[in-house]
Structure 1
């Protein structure tokens, strides 16, 4: 019994930095922009490469765990995660940090399935296993929710590299405890890994996202963007064809033929896009425009973190009483209302209104996430439950990565078109100042007064405008999605009632 709970402590200990690292850099974007002189495109890649790589790697790493046992996978993933943390902490350029974050995601993609497999293997009694899974889920959601706050506190007291450096002693302790106390497991050598398919999916995602970002910036010739987009599209189509033809696919794409599962995945991706994208935009406005410190920005965003972290029990009650369709569509609609309200809120003078709307956003988006999970698991056949869960996990990670990318694209485009710069700047200086608020601030540091002040003032005004455009656009899209979800989930509660007596709901 002691070894069981010690194993859970080890699992929770290593899962904490993995969860935190998904969001810890949200409040660090202004600091990274100044310290590493990053462009807006580089800054987005630094933040969202973690989720995008994890989305493609988590499934084959789970298969690797089945092949070698979760103990070996946990040790390997922890070692890679610790090494990548050190490389990230001491990165001297944006390119080095992006590469380190990609390696960090690879280690995290090993750790997550290893922790789940460890719980399933260690806890044989259902009641104890459910309790352990509850602790695991709380750590994951809590770590991601409070990542910006933790990052802000570290940045207030230490160099930005400290947000990664703190991982090293945790990982070292976990590896020693795992090697000493966690029993070895017998792997299944016949388990296929599908690593080539995973790399194909990652390459397709990154090429498509890069094409979209670069097309907005206009920094690469049109033929180069078109070529990258075409290659990404071809790789994605090849991946889909492989999955449909494989006897043991990495992702069972046939599940998407079920309208309810497709709707659930769309909800999961959209809810994560809303939460993650909003946190990134808020962190930049609070610091660049209103002069908040990273820690103060994290404190200001606490309502959305608390509401999303503690919405689970309330949302579960609402689902059981009102039904999944009502909670799913209602969650999307309330998220839309929150975004539309926040788009016209002055965060300097209407703080109470901002906090109420952020709490509503956190609760409604997290409720939609719970509804998406219930929808997917209710509609999936019993023998396809693992595949459905894998698709849901990928939806979460893709949503986190795409949230940064999509909000960043809207913000960049609106910022470039709305900024009104003072006269006297060269074409190169005007292009830099129009790229992003971070690059405008970098330029202002090299200019003399009063031009530097005028550039900063113009950048702040343009960012407020572009932030409102991004939030209003997101709100309108979420409102349309709420209507789509309402119609697509018609009859879902009947499906749930059919599977509930067998206890098949996830």
Structure 2
């Protein structure tokens, strides 16, 4: 039985035959549960701050720029190191690197929980990203190594994807439950007992695996990968908030130059960090792009939808988290159907259809945000959750199947890089667009004091704090309307991007059916 991507005609030039497929047993499935718990926690940590933003913004006196950095520096740091860590895991052992990363993640969580300033919290979140970069590729590459049967591997990837997308959607609920009774630092403290459980379960259940012939690790390539990713991501964020200027252009040039040198070096090395020739295949590139756009839209939605529920609808943090639960449950429920959908439709059609479903969810959301009821919001969250869950499962399984088992870490890094870049760019770009539309929709603020006017312009969270006791309820109501209308416009922009990604997936990713995967 051949793998998903082999049926898509995306063979890796370095591909070797995998070992004969064998059915995974109870130990492998138990190990999968431990890995899914790990990725769920990391995904929760990526979005758990959404509900805590109003509280920590007030407590730490964070500016709007600092709020965005608190939200996305975690993903920036993670994305910049994923390629290096994925390849390092293939060399020193995936389980070993996973255990080291989990321990570091717990330590960084403690630092974040007791951050006295916004700058401290940003630094702690960056350390969390560094630790996360050692964990994420390891979880997925261990799955690639444990599940050699294509049908079982697709199901295992679906479980893993449910942990990633479900964890991202679960973050606001966890945050809401904690913030109902504790201070904002509790959203980090909760990581400590869970990471302890992860360390124990991984140590007991997960087998060690590595590339038996890893070749020489190239530090220069690792540095180039960081130099290519981080400046480009920073430039997008900087230009979105400050406009196109010299600093942004210099960052783009640095990132682009590093990327060119990186690609040329990978082509020349016998054992590259990643097989860049995979990206010459339109189907492979289209799959990665579809995954990135899906996560881009989803993360941007989560980051600002939680604030919308609290600041515009007036829900408490826990109430807001509970109202996001339909999206969480839907993204987890796709485990039941993802394998059969991919088997019946093929990867390309599955990606296209699921992205269109997600776009429809964003369209419903844009309409529902203009009304006072909740049913429309719930329907939108279900559509988005199902669409994202299936799309990410299909894309991840396709990328993993493109390489042999011994290169699973590098392949996992590609998949994870698209996920984390999607998260970071979604928060930065959609967040910035939302802020621009919000400020453009504000009423005349000339009657307010300078501090109050600055607070309202900075963000609705800061404005609510400033105007709540100042007898300016009319202006506060107008600011809430501006926030809601900005959410509607941003949701429609995200929907349009998803439609474009769906068309690309449908056109460039083949959809040969895989009847062998549909059996029980």
Q: Secondary structure at the match of 2:84?
A: helix
> How far apart are the structure 1 equivalents of 2:459 and 2:70?
15
Matched, 1:470 2:490: yes
Change (3 A) 1:210 1:443: farther
Greater shift, 55-64 or 97-106, is seen at: 55-64
1:224-373 equivalences in 2 (<5 Å): 224-346=247-369, 349-373=372-396
Match status 1:207 vs 2:231:
yes
* Per-residue CA distance 1:351-374 (angstroms, 9 max, x = gap): 112211221121122222233345
Matched length? 492
Matching of residue 28 in structure 1 with residue 52 in structure 2: yes
Which residue of the other structure, out of 508, 511, 517, is the alignment partner of 1:488? Answer: 508
After TM superposition, the structure 1 stretch with the greater mean CA deviation from structure 2, 90-99 or 422-431, is 422-431
For 2:148 and 2:499, how far apart are their aligned partners in 1?
A: 44
Aligned mates of 2:26, 2:385 — CA distance in 1:
37
Cα distance per residue 1:160-198 (max 9 Å; x no partner): 111111222333455567778988889979654445544
Q: Aligned-pair distance for 1:53?
A: 2.1
Distance 1:205 1:150, change over 3 A: same
- Residue equivalent to 2:471: 450
Distance change >3 Å, CA 174–CA 56, structure 1 → 2: same
CA contact (8 A) 2:355 2:498 kept: yes
Whether the 8 Å contact between 2:77 and 2:130 is mirrored in structure 1 is yes
Per-residue CA distance 1:59-110 (angstroms, 9 max, x = gap)? 3223333433345423321221111011000111222111111111222222
> Which stretch shows the higher mean deviation, 154-163 or 457-466?
457-466
Q: Are the counterparts in 1 of residues 50 and 302 from structure 2 also a CA contact under 8 Å?
A: yes
SS at match of 2:120: helix
Check the 8 A contact 2:452/2:466 in 1, yes or no.
yes
* 8 Å CA contact 2:145, 2:405 repeated in 1: no
Contact 1:338–1:361 at 8 Å: present in 2 too? yes
- Spell out the pairing of 1:126-145 with structure 2 (5 A cutoff): 138-145=162-169
Show CA shifts across 1:244-272 (max 9, x none). 33332222221111111111111101111
1: CA distance, partners of 2:340 / 2:197: 39
Between the aligned partners of 1:276 and 1:111, the Cα distance in structure 2 is 20
Residues 460 and 479 in structure 2, CA contact (< 8 A), matched pair in contact too: yes
Change (3 A) 1:384 1:479: farther
Q: How far off is 1:311 after superposition? A: 1.7
CA deviation after TM superposition for structure 1 residue 113, in Å: 3.9
Q: Is the 8 A contact 1:274 1:365 kept in 2?
A: no
Once structures 1 and 2 are overlaid, which stretch shifts more, 407-416 or 322-331?
A: 322-331
Equivalent residue number for residue 110 of structure 1: 134
The CA deviation at 1:348 is: 5.6
Task: Say whether the 8 Å CA contact 1:329–1:482 is kept in structure 2.
Answer: yes
CA 133–347 in structure 1, closer or farther in 2 if over 3 Å, else same: same
Greater shift in the superposed pair: 167-176 or 89-98:
167-176
Pairwise CA RMSD of aligned residues?
Answer: 3.6
Using a 3 Å threshold, how does the CA distance of structure 1 residues 441 and 61 change in structure 2: closer, same or farther?
same
Query: 304-313 or 64-73: which moved more?
Result: 64-73
Q: SS of 2:292's equivalent?
A: helix
Structure 1 stretches lacking a partner, 5+ long: none
Is residue 83 from structure 1 mapped to residue 101 from structure 2 by the alignment? no
Deviations 1:129-157 (Å, cap 9, x if unpaired)? 99877765554444333222111111111
Q: TM-score, normalised by structure 1?
A: 0.84
Residue 119 of structure 1, CA deviation: 6.0
Change (3 A) 1:369 1:221: closer
Structure 2 CA distance for aligned equivalents of residues 181 and 477 of structure 1 = 41
Quickly say closer, same or farther: Cα 1:198–1:462, change in 2 above 3 A: farther
Superposed displacement of residue 468, structure 1: 1.0
Residues 61-76 of structure 1 aligned to structure 2 (within 5 Å): 61-76=85-100
Q: Distance in 1 between matches of 2:109 and 2:63?
A: 22
Pick which of 274-283 and 198-207 moved more: 198-207
**Deviation of residue 11 (structure 1)?**
4.9
172-181 or 31-40: bigger deviation? 172-181
> Which structure ranks higher in relative contact order (CA pairs < 8 Å, sequence separation ≥ 6)?
2
CA deviation vs aligned residue, 1:105-128 (integer Å, no higher than 9, x gap): 222222234445666778899999
